[in-house]
């Protein structure tokens, strides 16, 4: 099994667009979004950091309108001289734009194309299932796909119920659902549902912004496999066949996060890692979801608009 996965590994999809198994996350890389709850002061610009990521070997870049750093990413791509055909560029359309409708979404994708210095995006996502608006927004993505502006389309942060609502009206099935997935936010009912639907799961915050790298279980298992804690978590992710998008602005850690292919976690240890989610974590997810499906829209703060019933596990 360990030999079956490599840096070149990719996950097949029904649209014929293969998703790389590992990519680089660009949230808060060189910039902080305006409405983020925790801001930071970057010590380097986006372009310099992304040049390091590209030189380290990353070819899938997870970008977004919300991250306000796509111009720096485009500059890094130009500086790196990596051929466009070798890259897999993801972008996501933010809530404000989804709320405004088709013209705003089309304008946003054109701005992303210009910023990234490309004439197509490999994968374009609805960032959050904005209440009452995400289905209409997804239908615009379907048009963008049919027009060849985006090679594939998908969603992020969708619950089972969000997808069931979308499923009734969509023409093109999303190839991916991008979710927070880690041993501490492991939602088997949701994950199994999307796997059964033939939708690739792409994981963000697997490393939990390094907050859990000193967890006793992680420390013990990392020592057992003679790897770094972040490498153990990355391997756990790809061994589940979830696309893994870690983020670090440190060059040596960027490189380490790609070194996942010379060991395999046993089935017993995988199950132990799978069992770390606690009720309070699911409660945190529920709170975040209720906030984010309204954030940066005129509906923000009106929790009466949030669906009353949705699967959190």
For residues 109, 111, 117, 123, the Cα torsion angle rounded to the nearest 10 degrees is -20
| Sign of the CA dihedral with 277 first, then 199, 248, and 293 last | negative
Cα 66–Cα 176–Cα 310 angle in degrees, nearest 5: 80
Place of tokens 């829209």: 297
- Active site (catalytic) residues: 67
Q: How far apart are CA 267 and CA 169, in angstroms?
A: 39
Helices (H), the chain: 46-56, 70-80, 95-100, 102-116, 134-146, 160-167, 188-196, 216-225, 229-239, 251-256, 267-274, 279-292
Nearest Cα neighbor of 69 from 96, 92, 98 is 92
Nearest Cα neighbor of 23 from 256, 264, 243 is 243
Q: How far apart are CA 193 and CA 197, in angstroms?
A: 6
Residue pair 105/138 in contact (Cβ under 8 Å)? The answer is: no
**Residues paired with 25 in a beta bridge:** 62
């Amino acid at each position: 099994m360990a030999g079956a996965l490599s840096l070149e590994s990719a996950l097949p999809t029904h649209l014929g667009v293969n998703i790389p198994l590992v990519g680089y996350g660009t949230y808060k890389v060189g910039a902080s979004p305006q409405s983020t709850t925790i801001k930071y002061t970057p010590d380097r610009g986006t372009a310099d950091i992304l040049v390091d990521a590209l030189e380290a070997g990353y070819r899938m870049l997870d970008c977004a309108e919300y991250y306000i750093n796509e111009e720096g990413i485009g500059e890094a791509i130009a500086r790196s001289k990596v051929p466009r055909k070798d890259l897999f560029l993801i972008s996501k359309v933010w809530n404000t734009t989804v709320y405004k409708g088709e013209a705003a979404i089309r304008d946003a994708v054109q701005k992303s194309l210009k910023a990234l210095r490309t004439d197509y995006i490999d994968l374009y996502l609805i960032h959050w299932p904005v209440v009452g608006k995400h289905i209409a927004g997804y239908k615009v993505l379907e048009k963008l796909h049919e027009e060849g502006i985006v090679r594939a389309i998908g969603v992020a942060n969708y619950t089972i119920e969000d997808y069931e609502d979308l499923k009734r009206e969509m023409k093109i099935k999303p190839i991916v659902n991008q979710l927070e997935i880690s041993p501490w936010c492991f939602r088997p009912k949701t994950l199994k549902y999307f796997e059964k639907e033939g939708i690739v799961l792409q994981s963000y915050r697997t490393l939990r912004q390094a907050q859990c790298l000193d967890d006793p279980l992680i420390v013990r298992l990392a020592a057992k496999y003679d790897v770094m804690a972040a490498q153990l978590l990355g391997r756990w992710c790809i061994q589940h066949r979830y696309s893994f998008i870690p983020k670090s602005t440190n060059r040596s850690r960027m490189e380490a996060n790609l070194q996942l292919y010379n060991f395999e976690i046993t089935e017993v240890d995988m199950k132990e890692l799978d069992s770390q989610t606690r009720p309070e974590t699911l409660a945190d997810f529920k709170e975040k979801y209720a906030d984010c499906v309204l954030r940066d829209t005129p509906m923000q703060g009106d929790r009466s608009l949030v669906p009353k019933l949705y699967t959190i596990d």
